[in-house]
Amino acid sequence: MNDVNDQRRGNAATNDMLTYKEAAWLLGVPVGTVYAWVHTRGIPHVRLGARLVRFRRSDLLEWLGERTIRAAAVPTPRLRTIPGHAS
């Protein structure tokens, strides 16, 4: 079979490597955004040559986790009482 998955079945280190398109799909952003992030060094990547860039899936998932903003604990609102009325 000449399937893409068959072509990528090298060793474990290369199986973890993603292309721009795959990284964009994983992150849910346009490919152009991934190119811009690489240009500004805003995203972890591996440069294998002058024009050859790959992304480790594990690095991207860790990078994404570092950018997760946790919800703040919301205090329970205090009910105001109306003057002259019993609570």
pLDDT tens digits for range 49-77? 999 999 999 999 999 999 988 888 877 77
Q: Which residues of 41-65 are buried (b: 16+ CB within 10 A; e: fewer)?
A: eebebeeeeeeebbbbeebbeebee
Q: How confident is the model at residue 31, as a pLDDT? A: 98
Residues 6 or more apart whose CB falls under 8 angstroms from that of 30 comprise: 24
Residue 75 gets which letter from DSSP? P
Domains of the chain by start residue, with CATH: 16-66 (1.10.10.10)
**Residues 30-51, mean pLDDT to the nearest whole number:** 96
- pLDDT for the residue numbered 2: 46
